[in-house]
Chain A
Amino acid sequence: MNIMGLEQYKGVYVFAQQVDNELSGIAFELLGKAKELAKDLDTDVTAVLIGNNVKGLVDELAAFGADKVIVVDDPELEVYRTEPYAHALSSVINEYKPEIVLVGATAIGRDLGPRVSARVATGLTADCTVLEIGDFPLVARPGQEQKHNQLLMTRPAFGGNTIATIACPDNRPQMATVRPGVMQAIDRIEGAKAEVIEYNPGFTPDNKYVEVLEVVKSVVDVVDIMDAKILVSGGRGVGSPENFQILKDLAEVLGGEVSCSRAVVDNGWLPRDLQVGQTGKTVRPQVYFAIGISGAIQHVAGMEESDIIIAINKDETAPIFEVADYGIVGDLNKIVPALTAALKAELN
């Protein structure tokens, strides 16, 4: 497969995910990264906003770096469904021919991205953590053309054991899904305006239009652990759901939140929204307490970018100590409450 006329593909596009008419955090993160890439390529940033009655979100996208916003607004797009959204995004790609398309690696984006990339016949790199512009191959090789200004997409693979950098040199657009919580949004620019383009490719329901019978929202009022400055995270070593209270107390005194490892979710102790790691969320708080967490590689992949990692574990061979800045081998049941008490005394 080889698409002729790669050079006619221009601009960095971002799928501006919204749910219930509210932009998802990933939309702003992608815009932040898109702005950097667009600068390197001397081009501009376009947000693709897809939904029903979503035009009111345009200024918000402009404030976070969109030069243009393409709005696909249609009643068929009220609730996320793969087909009408895939039709919307792939129609935009075919019509406007972007050079790069970024999609969040969310439960929506990881469904939409592959379907769209297959429809427009291009490559898609999943769950990227680093995006940059560079050459492919990285180093010139005799007998092979070295292409410049390529999107180099870096991602962890094999359970976080390795990292791979991937390019899509012969097809356009270059598409990536991007892991939430990794890219930085720019500071809000008050009063920024974007050029708005309304585009509707027409929506004719067919066999691929599924029916959403019910939307069941999570009843717990969840905090977003990705926004927390301090996370007190517990693992299997905490022992029981009740014992998470000592972690909650520590989090409270520091103004932080509680998160956890996969084992805790699998045991039904805490909800999935609080899970850090490869199959959970990527976090990078100022301080990450890993308490009773052994530090499986899948967990570490989700928290190793934290500024300071403090580990408390009774097993001195726990792999978490290999990434911790400060590791304490000891009994969490004694240390955590004592630390909370000391902090209370210090801060009051």
Chain B
Amino acid sequence: MKIVVCVKQVPDTKGGVKFNPDGTLDRGAMLTIMNPDDKAGLEAALRLKDQYGAEVTVLTMGLPKAEEVLREAMAMGADKGILVTDRVLGGADTWATSTTIAGAIRNLDYDLIITGRQAIDGDTAQVGPQISEHLDIPVISYAQDIKIEGDSVIVERQYEDRYHVVKAKMPCLVTALAELNEPRYMTPGGIFDAFEAEITTWGRKNLKDVDDSNLGLNGSPTKIAKASDKVRKGAGEVVTLDPEEAVDYLMGKLKEKHVI
């Protein structure tokens, strides 16, 4: 079985966010991590590898620096790493991103593609389903469990108040939830090997069946009109009180505001 896992290097949003003048994210200026949902997807793939035997290829699109997440993935146990990077791909929205990644995946043999549900920078959850559409394969989003049965994948698909047990014939794309599992740590040997391992780098010319007009900032149908730091409502009163005083204080406020 061949599994492709799509991972994204994302800014650690705890470290603050920086922008380019055009409103897109200045990814070079921030601390980065492997996106948590993607990491769970990778762990799911590695468990399938442990259980059934599989070749796991990790693929990322980003700046050259995004090679770091591929090495991390390989140190966890992935077999191959592919970096898709090219100046002309920059500023892509989810349409242009999914077009690019689908164009890269068309070069590969695969039974299963796993992406994270969503990345913590954009939070869109769109790229996984859009890749599946470009590749004309089924998608099962929001996976909380993934099993293989013959030539099919069986997934617990989460909804707000239920889950569905869904069966799809492979090839298929599954988007993983962070709560799917607890990702393993990199092993010291794995880190050593991953440092030495060869990473395949692809650019625009390696993308298959993709039109230039669908790539990068220019190929993105959505355009940023404005981006800004969120203006939050100001703090109100903060008081340090004994429990008894605190209750009097709160009762006063609740009456004042006609809550009681």
Among residues of A, the one whose C-beta sits closest to the C-beta of B232 is A323
B235 and A323 form a contact (CB under 8 A): yes
Which residues of chain B are within 8 angstroms of A125 by Cβ–Cβ distance?
A: 222
B226 and A218 form a contact (CB under 8 A): no
Known A117-B130, A210-B168, A213-B167; judge A322-B226 contact (CB<8 A): no
Which residues of chain A are within 8 angstroms of B232 by Cβ–Cβ distance?
A: 300, 304, 322-323
Which residues of chain A are within 8 angstroms of B250 by Cβ–Cβ distance?
A: 310, 326, 328, 335, 339
B164 and A114 form a contact (CB under 8 A): no
B237 and A107 form a contact (CB under 8 A): no
A310 and B253 form a contact (CB under 8 A): yes
Among residues of A, the one whose C-beta sits closest to the C-beta of B219 is A1
Which residues of chain B are within 8 angstroms of A149 by Cβ–Cβ distance?
A: none
Which residues of chain A are within 8 angstroms of B239 by Cβ–Cβ distance?
A: 326-329
Which residues of chain A are within 8 angstroms of B163 by Cβ–Cβ distance?
A: 216
Tell me which residues from 253 to 302 in chain A have a Cβ below 8 Å from any Cβ of chain B.
254, 266, 273, 278, 286-287, 297, 300
Neighbour of A114 across the interface among B129, B172, B229, CB < 8 A: B129
B159 and A108 form a contact (CB under 8 A): yes
Neighbour of A214 across the interface among B165, B211, B240, CB < 8 A: B165
A114 and B238 form a contact (CB under 8 A): no
B235 and A321 form a contact (CB under 8 A): yes
B253 and A338 form a contact (CB under 8 A): no
Which residues of chain A are within 8 angstroms of B236 by Cβ–Cβ distance?
A: 309, 324-327
Chain A binder among B46-54, B78-86, B104-112, B136-144: B136-144
Among residues of B, the one whose C-beta sits closest to the C-beta of A159 is B13
Among residues of A, the one whose C-beta sits closest to the C-beta of B23 is A164
Which residues of chain A are within 8 angstroms of B230 by Cβ–Cβ distance?
A: 156, 160-163
Which residues of chain B are within 8 angstroms of A106 by Cβ–Cβ distance?
A: 160
Which residues of chain A are within 8 angstroms of B158 by Cβ–Cβ distance?
A: 107
Among residues of A, the one whose C-beta sits closest to the C-beta of B243 is A334
A330 and B240 form a contact (CB under 8 A): yes
1/0 per position for B224-260, CB-CB distance to A under 8 A? 1111111011011111111110110111011001011
Count of residues in B whose CB is under 8 Å from the partner chain? 85
Among residues of A, the one whose C-beta sits closest to the C-beta of B131 is A118
A118 and B224 form a contact (CB under 8 A): no
A208 and B129 form a contact (CB under 8 A): no
A163 and B228 form a contact (CB under 8 A): yes
Tell me which residues from 119 to 144 in chain B have a Cβ below 8 Å from any Cβ of chain A.
120-130, 132-134, 136-142
A273 and B240 form a contact (CB under 8 A): no
B159 and A213 form a contact (CB under 8 A): no
Neighbour of B133 across the interface among A119, A164, A323, A324, CB < 8 A: A119
Chain A binder among B1-9, B62-70, B92-100, B185-193: B92-100
Alpha-carbon distance between A122 and B132 when the two chains are bound, in angstroms:
16
Which residues of chain A are within 8 angstroms of B233 by Cβ–Cβ distance?
A: 304, 323
B242 and A330 form a contact (CB under 8 A): yes
The answer to whether A152 has its CB under 8 Å from any CB of chain B is yes
Among residues of A, the one whose C-beta sits closest to the C-beta of B171 is A207
Alpha-carbon distance between A347 and B121 when the two chains are bound, in angstroms:
46
Among residues of A, the one whose C-beta sits closest to the C-beta of B237 is A326
B243 and A335 form a contact (CB under 8 A): yes
A342 and B247 form a contact (CB under 8 A): yes
Among residues of A, the one whose C-beta sits closest to the C-beta of B258 is A286
Which residues of chain B are within 8 angstroms of A2 by Cβ–Cβ distance?
A: 213
Known A107-B160, A161-B17; judge A278-B123 contact (CB<8 A): yes
Neighbour of A342 across the interface among B125, B161, B172, B251, CB < 8 A: B251
A165 and B224 form a contact (CB under 8 A): yes
B123 and A79 form a contact (CB under 8 A): no
Tell me which residues from 137 to 179 in chain A have a Cβ below 8 Å from any Cβ of chain B.
137-138, 152, 156-171
Distance from B147 Cβ to chain A, minimum over Cβ atoms (Å)? 11
1/0 per position for A75-110, CB-CB distance to B under 8 A? 000011111001000000000000000000011101
Which residues of chain A are within 8 angstroms of B221 by Cβ–Cβ distance?
A: 1, 121-123, 168, 170-171
Which residues of chain B are within 8 angstroms of A185 by Cβ–Cβ distance?
A: none
Distance from B194 Cβ to chain A, minimum over Cβ atoms (Å)? 28
Which residues of chain B are within 8 angstroms of A323 by Cβ–Cβ distance?
A: 232-233, 235
1/0 per position for B200-225, CB-CB distance to A under 8 A? 00000000000101100001111111
Alpha-carbon distance between A217 and B138 when the two chains are bound, in angstroms:
23
Distance from A180 Cβ to chain B, minimum over Cβ atoms (Å)? 9
Distance from A137 Cβ to chain B, minimum over Cβ atoms (Å)? 6
Which residues of chain A are within 8 angstroms of B168 by Cβ–Cβ distance?
A: 210-211
A213 and B134 form a contact (CB under 8 A): no
Known A114-B94, A278-B123, A308-B257; judge A168-B137 contact (CB<8 A): no
B159 and A343 form a contact (CB under 8 A): no
B238 and A329 form a contact (CB under 8 A): yes
Which residues of chain A are within 8 angstroms of B244 by Cβ–Cβ distance?
A: 338
Neighbour of A211 across the interface among B129, B166, B254, CB < 8 A: B166
Which residues of chain B are within 8 angstroms of A312 by Cβ–Cβ distance?
A: 246
Alpha-carbon distance between A170 and B219 when the two chains are bound, in angstroms:
11
Which residues of chain B are within 8 angstroms of A81 by Cβ–Cβ distance?
A: 166
Among residues of B, the one whose C-beta sits closest to the C-beta of A153 is B222
Alpha-carbon distance between A218 and B137 when the two chains are bound, in angstroms:
29
A316 and B238 form a contact (CB under 8 A): yes
Which residues of chain B are within 8 angstroms of A110 by Cβ–Cβ distance?
A: 125-126, 141
Alpha-carbon distance between A168 and B123 when the two chains are bound, in angstroms:
19
With A163-B227, A163-B230, A210-B140 already in contact, 13 other A-B pairs whose C-beta atoms are closer than 8 Å = A80-B164, A111-B141, A114-B125, A125-B222, A126-B94, A158-B17, A216-B163, A287-B257, A327-B239, A329-B238, A329-B241, A339-B250, A343-B254
